[in-house]
Amino acid sequence: MPHPPTTKAAGARGVYATEAAQVRAGSLGLLLLLISLAMLFGGLVLAVLLIRLGNTVWPEDLPHLPWQIWVSTGSLLAISLSFAGAVKAAKQQSDVGIRICLVWTGVLALIFTAMQVWAWVNWSDQVSQLETMTDQHRVAIAGFWIFTGLHVAHVIGGLVPLAMLGWYAVFRTWTNARHGLLRHTAIYWHFLDAVWIVLLLALIML
């Protein structure tokens, strides 16, 4: 079955003169989205850390960061690398390279998500064993949930285009028309990576 042209000009109304122009518009849109999300996460971290700094006494018996977090951090970093690999393979017109890198990325993304869920189980176990529960405990515990939860929500947003790309690379013949989506998805995941590092630092400080 022949598949439809990959990037149709929006609404087929010929808003863009060329496909390249459409990709360029997409890049700018993505940049603005990321700036906006950076403000969102930045505001979150700032608010929680300011509360932390505003409290001179802070509980000593808080749950430890689950070990799974470190595995997921590793896999997120690896995702950035394998995405970079896919983009490079696309530039070199290597279909096999794209396929391998994208499948790898998909596996790593699943590992990341599974590890985060496992970390949540670990965390709630630790929380249920706490003997005291002050207001400060609540903030610290909620901080973990909010940081990781909001981040995972954005990861899920990134899984969608990743799955589309993976499907396309494995079951279809790759065309250059997919390069725009590949580049944009890669940038989005690099962003998720950077945000995660900031969140992790904040979690360590909490």
Partner 1 sequence: MTTMNTRSLEQPTLEDNYLTYTRGIMSWVLTLDHKRIGVMYLVSVLGAFLLGGVFALLVRTQLLVPDGLIMDQDQYNQAFTLHGGIMVFLVIIPSIPAALGNFVMPIMLGAKDVAFPRLNLMSYYLWVIGALCMVYAMVGGLDTGWTFYTPYSIDESSAMSGVIPAVTGAFILGFSSIFTGMNFIVTIHRLRPDGMTWFRMPLFLWSIYATAVIQVLATPVLGITLALLAVERAFGIGIFDPALGGDPVLYQHFFWFYSHPAVYIMVLPAMGIVSELIAVHSHRHIFGYSFIAWSSVAIAIFSFIVWGHHMFTSGQSQLMNVIFSFITFSVAIPSAVKVFNWLATMYKGAISWNTPMLYGMGFIVLFLIGGLTGLYLGTLAVDIHLHDTYFVVAHFHYTMMGSALIGFIGGLHHWWPKITGKMYNENAGRFAFVLFFIGYNMTFFTQFMLGSHGMPRRYGTYPADAGFQTYHIISTIGAYIMAIAFFTMAGYFLASVFGGRRAASNPWGGRSLEWQCTSPPPHDNFSEQPAVGDCYDFSVLRWDDATNGYVWREDIEHPGMTHSEASGE
142-161 binders of partner 1 (CB under 8 A): 142, 146
Which stretch, 37-45, 60-68, 173-181, 198-206, contacts partner 1 (CB under 8 A)?
37-45
Q: Which two tokens stand for residue 91?
A: 């530039």
Whether the CB-CB separation of 191 and 161 falls below 8 Å is answered with no
Q: How far is the CB of 182 from partner 1 (least distance, A)?
A: 19
Based on the shown chain and the rule CB under 8 A, indicate whether residue 133 belongs to the binding site for partner 1: no
Which stretch, 61-69, 75-83, 134-142, 172-180, contacts partner 1 (CB under 8 A)?
134-142
Picking from 82, 76, 100, 206, the residue whose alpha carbon sits closest to that of residue 154 is: 76
The rounded distance, in Å, linking the Cα atoms of 158 and 87 is: 16
Give me the DSSP letters along 89-116.
HHHTT-HHHHHHHHHHHHHHHHHHHHHH
Q: How far is the CB of 172 from partner 1 (least distance, A)?
A: 23
The rounded distance, in Å, linking the Cα atoms of 183 and 188 is: 9
> Which residues in this chain contact partner 1 in the complex, by CB under 8 A?
10-11, 13-16, 21, 24-25, 28-29, 32-33, 35-37, 39-41, 43-44, 47-48, 50-51, 54-55, 134-136, 138-139, 142, 146
